Structure 1
């Protein structure tokens, strides 16, 4: 007789005499985004006072408890042995009994990656040069970050250069860090993954970089040809770095009868902000500090005035300070300028007038970057969901996923099932034979979701010359003719001159360089070259799917009743095969369902 004890939120529940049925499922041949949790079948608890209190009287329509809508922590003991800890318990329904169910072995934090639909571009990033962005400029020679890839432009074109790449490992590390999930890859597969790179094929800019690195505008002196006695213009000059030169330019500008150095914007900015200080020096015997202002102009319109925050007067020589702080909209080709206005009194002489201006101008994101500017990494990652990226990488190197602790994913090669035969658990003497003859209780000859032709594909792209898909065939005329087993979110690459070819640029009839949008790509880094050779699906299948081919060809799924005690169930390892001498073969676990008296219904796949 099995003795079960169920604890919900550390409180022991009253149970009926019926055993709790548990189901253990392997993730072999399962999509990583559908990593299966082990689960119990519905557990029917008696409606005792203790159990009703446990569910906070949620059986009453008048109850306002949130208990039915929350997950609760559960622990299951069987014959005094802790079988399951940190399970999720949910209340399903109440009626004659209280119906609850358990799930366990799931990866809690990974559910967020799967269910939230986060994309690679949702990865949190900062503003540190070399970590979060690089300067997109001609480096003179290729490197691991700017590898040689044929993008379609002429090598001597001064208006473009090779795009940066990031490694697949860099992306996986970011996902792990921010999701709290740990990925455990086998060492030999990690060697291949570490060579994989993702070219950044878009040219998206980053609002964070505009905020972190504003345009510095400085000025000394005043405008020339000042012909108004109570006004003179203040010079401002671009003082930013080379990556900001295409945001705007310093020009000579006619403002209020004064010719000044001003800053003309190159693109529309719907949320611009300017902040800094202006210090002016002038002589006057008639000016009043209360009527002195600095004016901020956009073209011919004054959009803001600023009052003094400090001043000194020495022998009619005034030194006046202003703080500038203004948010505004500005359009392409409009000009920012500054001037000093006296509302009462006049400047005595401008021969010794001057200014010292230091302003930071922040523009809103332009929408794209140009050659020579800061190239942010994360905003230019492929438009792919994080889970689809993980699936793609795992499938390319022939890995399936198993939960590894509360927040770990262990990636297992199909070949491990064969390699682990030396560790196989012998269940020969535990089988409860159904018949006098040595035949299984049930034997099936097909697996779900398998066809005669199982296609492994890259994303379709008309610009790619050649076919880089692969096919695993199953010799079984009774099943569906074909299916797409895997379609990667990346397109394949042709090869030109020994490197990958991605038609990102072309030239029009006038010989002008044109940028073309293209599908995401994944490549291998070979020194300072980006190559596609080795990533053809025929090669990937040959290197990583030999055991898988054996599993799905001549498939035999055996169902047997097998005696397994609580400790054996607790310590199950789904990547370790079992051995049944009566059939002379090793088998992989697909599913185990507990029954009464330590009897389990086991579904096993012949290796």
Structure 2
């Protein structure tokens, strides 16, 4: 009799004799290279016992929360005292006469945090350490961090510089650290990953840097301010907090902030905030037009001073002769020089003393969300790496790198995921498991239980592409000799675009000139991957798919061209399932052949249905 133990969130579940837990082990090898498959179970039907109902938080009752079914849970499975699955992801499917759950493990559990949260490269963590998290963007000699790439500007252009790059290895290390996962590649792939670079084509500032340099002004009233000519302005008063990096504040005699002076000339500033004011007036205020109420940024010393920023409110009637002004402030302005500026309320409908500012009203002043060409150690010349990475999902980046290397993801012990090429399986023939005497013959004749000649997901011509390569200039094709298949399909399209070459270096036209000769910047350019050369130039040499397939898919092409898959019933012990390594082939003497394991369906009887790919 088979003893089974199942734990969900470290709580033992009740299992009866009718509970069948079938384990499906699946390999990525000889599958569609663009997919990362995982191990799973069929639906597991647990009895509706008091203990099991308690574990699922009584989700079977309409009066209780269904939250348990909407989140992933951690699972462990033991068979005959052997922990076969230590780290499964468990979901509740439905409840009828039984509690139906399903488990997945392997790659899916390793990548769960990355996939479930839809994380992009720009979601990677970062700090504020120079060289590690950012560089001071400077014009100068080329370097591995700022290699020479043709971005479209002239050599003597003063308003554009070469952009920084990061290596694929740097990005993978970031993903590893954030997801608590370890990627293992072959030695030759490590060398490629150190020279494969991602140009940072945007010019975004870092939210962390912006927040650290932000001045926050909390509203604390409105005061009169007399200026020459008998005018009286209504000046917002504030209490300040945060940084004075971009603006130095000015206070009145009571210690309240009534103005600020930009610290940097011609550095565009961003102002955001919410101000709500209760106003008592017998006149009906207007929110727009010549006499519309407004929140203004300008010099307070003159009624004719240049307006730097204006925001009109939405106005709502609260009761007779009482209104609410609601300012939603979000905009940018260039203060120009460093003259003092103030926040002024323009309102011809009410007198001072008739205003009540609601609690929580504030404005924040910070820099515009971009990086500027400043050859100094200033916040707006700090070019941060992570905020300027391509807006690509982390899992799609991992798939792209694995595809370029010609590797397939295989889960290892703990949090390790190994990326191995087909060549590794071939080399591991010396370690092959001898299953000759484990096979349970299905026929009296010496032949497999089943033999097939197709792999799901393939056509005759399997096209590998770079993004937006409409001319198919950089495509590659892997062929399958089978006229019964669909003729052609796009098997893989990378989330990066190809790059043309000019003068021995890659071209990425993010800058161009107008007919008047003015430089313009195109921030919507597709992401790129390039190879860093020893002379600190970056090229696209060797990255067309024909070359990649020739270099990294030789063995894969050989076996995929005329596939042969057999299905056998094999006796596999529980501890062997626990230690299963899909990169090690098996040997069957009855056929004199080596096989790569494609999948194993393991019943609790110990008899497993195995799909095996014939290697030679």
TM-score, scaled to structure 1: 0.74
CA distance in 2, matches of 1:32, 1:455: 11
Name the residue aligned to 1:601. 609
Match of 2:12?
11
**What is the aligned length?**
503
- Change in 2 beyond 3 A, CA 1:164/1:559: same
1:103 lines up with 2:109 in the alignment: no
Instruction: Provide the C-alpha distance between the structure 1 equivalents of 2:367 and 2:192, rounded to a whole number of angstroms.
Output: 37
**The one of 545, 556, 564 aligned to 1:556:** 564
The alpha carbon displacement at 1:391 in A equals 1.1
- Cα distance change of structure 1 residues 540 and 299 upon mapping to structure 2, 3 Å threshold: farther
Query: What is aligned with 1:497?
Result: 503
Match of 2:482 in 1: 476
**Distance of 1:7 and 1:114 partners within structure 2:** 24
Give the Cα–Cα distance (whole angstroms) in 2 for the partners of residues 389 and 47 of structure 1.
43
RMSD (Å) for aligned C-alpha atoms: 3.7
Q: Is the 8 Å Cα contact of residues 31 and 457 (structure 2) preserved in structure 1?
A: no
Separation in structure 1 between the aligned mates of residue 528 and residue 383 of structure 2, nearest angstrom: 18
1:146 aligns with 2:154: no
Which residue in 1 is equivalent to 2:123?
Answer: 122
- Closer/same/farther in 2, CA of residues 64 and 535 from structure 1, 3 Å limit: closer
Offset at 1:18?
6.2
What CA deviation, in whole Å up to 9, does each residue of 1:79-119 have, x standing for no partner? 33333334344444444444344333355362121132222
1-side partners of 2:40 and 2:262: how far apart? 73
Deviation digits for residues 338-384 of structure 1, max 9, x if unmatched? 59xxxxxxxxxxxxxxxxxxxxx985342433333332322221121
Is structure 2 residue 394 aligned with structure 1 residue 393? no
503, 517, 521: which one aligns with 2:528: 521
Partner residue, 1:236: none
Deviates more, 1:90-99 or 1:47-56: 47-56
Report if aligned partners of 1:32, 1:401 keep a CA contact under 8 Å in 2: no
The structure 2 residue matched to 1:534, chosen from 542, 550, 566, is 542
2:373 aligned to which of 354, 359, 371: 371
SS of equivalent residue, structure 1 residue 428: coil
Deviations 1:11-58 (A, max 9, x none): 362421665322211222456885434233333344555555555655
Report the counterpart of residue 430 of structure 1 in structure 2.
438
User: Which stretch of structure 1 is more off in the superposition, 557-566 or 373-382?
Assistant: 373-382
* CA–CA separation in structure 1 for the residues paired with 2:485 and 2:399: 26
TM-superposed CA distance for 1:204, in Å, is: 2.3
Q: How does 1:201-600 map to 2 (within 5 A)?
A: 201-212=201-212, 267=268, 269-271=270-272, 297-298=299-300, 300=302, 331-333=333-335, 337=339, 363-372=365-374, 373-460=381-468, 467-517=473-523, 518-527=525-534, 528-595=536-603, 597-600=605-608
Number of the residue aligned with 1:177: 177
- Superimposed CA distance per residue, residues 407-439 of structure 1 (whole angstroms, 9 cap, x where no aligned partner): 332211121111111111111111122222222
Q: Which residue of 2 aligns with 1:251?
A: none
Q: 1:457, 1:263 → 2: CA distance?
A: 47
* 4+ aligned runs moved over 6 Å, structure 1: 260-264, 327-330
Distance in 2, matches of 1:564 and 1:201, equals: 52
* 8 Å Cα contact 1:7-1:13 kept in structure 2: no
CA distances 1:189-246 after superposition (whole Å, capped 9, x unpaired): 111111111111122233443454579xxxxxxxxxxx99xxxxxxxxxxxxxxx99x
**Partner SS for 1:586:** strand
1:157 and 1:594 mapped to 2: Cα distance?
A: 66
CA offset digits 1:492-528 (Å, max 9, x no partner):
1222222112222233333333323422111111121
The 2-side partners of 1:35 and 1:461 are apart by: 24
In 2 relative to 1, CA 190–551 (structure 1 residues): closer, same or farther, beyond 3 Å?
same
| CA displacement at 1:155 relative to structure 2 | 1.6
Unaligned runs of 5+ in 2: 216-227, 230-244, 249-260, 274-296, 306-328, 342-362, 375-380
Where in structure 2 are the equivalents of 1:48-197 lying within 5 Å?
A: 51=52, 55=56, 58-63=59-64, 68-69=69-70, 71-108=72-109, 110-139=111-140, 141-197=141-197
Cα 1:363–1:65 change in 2 (3 A) is closer
Q: Secondary structure at 1:364's aligned position in 2?
A: strand
Q: Using the alignment, how far apart are the partners of 1:49 and 1:165 within structure 2?
A: 58
Q: Give the TM-score taking structure 2 as reference length.
A: 0.73
Larger radius of gyration: 1
Query: Which blocks of at least 5 consecutive residues in structure 1 are unaligned?
Result: 216-226, 229-243, 249-259, 273-294, 304-326, 340-360
SS in 2 for 1:194: helix
CA distance in 1, matches of 2:548, 2:96: 54
When structure 1 is superposed on structure 2, of 596-605 and 96-105 the one drifting more is 96-105
- SS of 1:475's equivalent? coil
CA-to-partner distance for each residue in 1:139-168, whole Å, 9 max, x for gaps?
A: 1x2111111112222222222221111111
Distance 1:18 1:330 in 2: 64
